[in-house]
């Protein structure tokens, strides 16, 4: 990161550095000129503490992760989350059905259905991110006349989907996939998305909530369209 790429986690003002290195390995945290507080106290914290604060959706933790770290695992995290979501959908579709013959054609049909579920999950995520970015571009850039870093915002959206990792226990321990459990995970992910938008744009909560609602609406429309298309194809194959 270059000069003035860092942000104070307390007041969101730009900072040239997070700490200064002195001789004998002594580090001194930089004090923000605006709020007179440490620019980033989390550089001394254990990653577990940072993760807990991020789960609690603390603004300071989000600013530390999004502005003051070089965490570039958003694409890997995205693919991993999509794989878990695709497996859950695929498992819910087939239940406990099993094929006794490893060479059975039904087994390969189910495998292709898993790929289809992965593609559907990826399409829904793309619709969500696209809806959020388009809405914010219209409001922030067109109506308010301000600038917006789309790449940084996309990275924030993907990183804030880390809540989907909570699907892993359901995959490992073969949870019953109760709607309440999946609904709570979805709510947590949307809350994290809203907080990430708010931190990146330094905006009010109302704007971030509206953006998430638009993204969710886009995702729902795409999901319903894909479902109707699937039913139409099945009807054609039946006749």
Residue-wise pLDDT for 164-175, tens only, equals 888 877 667 655
Give the range of the structural domain holding residue 55, as residue numbers without chain letter.
17-66
* In-domain check, residue 138: yes
* In-domain check, residue 3: no
Q: Which stretches in the chain have pLDDT values below 50?
A: 3, 96, 99-106, 108
Domain count, the chain: 2
Residue 184 and residue 214 share a domain: yes
Per-residue pLDDT at 44: 87
Give pairs for 124-128: CB < 8 Å, separation 24+: 124/219, 124/222, 124/223, 125/78, 125/82, 125/161, 125/219, 127/215, 127/218, 127/219, 127/221, 127/222, 128/215, 128/216, 128/218, 128/219
Per-residue pLDDT at 105: 43
Residue 223 and residue 108 share a domain: yes
């Amino acid at each position: 990161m270059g000069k003035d790429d860092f942000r104070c986690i307390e007041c969101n003002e730009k900072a040239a550095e997070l700490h200064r290195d002195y001789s004998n390995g002594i580090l001194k945290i930089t004090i923000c000129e605006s709020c007179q507080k440490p620019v980033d106290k989390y550089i001394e914290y254990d990653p577990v503490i940072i993760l807990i604060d991020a789960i609690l959706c603390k603004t300071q933790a989000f600013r530390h992760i999004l502005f003051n770290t070089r965490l570039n695992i958003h694409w890997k995290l995205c693919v991993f989350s999509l794989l878990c979501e695709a497996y859950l959908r695929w498992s819910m579709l087939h239940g406990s059905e099993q094929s006794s013959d490893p060479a059975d054609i039904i087994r390969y049909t189910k495998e292709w259905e898993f790929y289809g579920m992965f593609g559907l999950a990826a399409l829904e995520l793309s619709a969500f991110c696209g809806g959020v970015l388009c809405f914010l571009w219209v409001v922030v850039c067109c109506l308010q006349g301000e600038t917006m870093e789309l790449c940084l915002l996309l990275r924030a959206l993907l990183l804030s989907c880390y809540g989907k990792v909570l699907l892993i226990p359901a995959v490992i321990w073969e949870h019953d996939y109760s709607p309440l459990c999946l609904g709570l995970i979805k709510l947590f992910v949307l809350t994290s998305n809203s907080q990430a938008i708010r931190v990146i744009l330094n905006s009010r909560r109302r704007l971030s909530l509206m953006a998430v609602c638009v993204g969710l609406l886009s995702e729902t429309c795409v999901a319903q369209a894909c479902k109707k298309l699937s039913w139409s194809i099945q009807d054609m194959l039946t006749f």
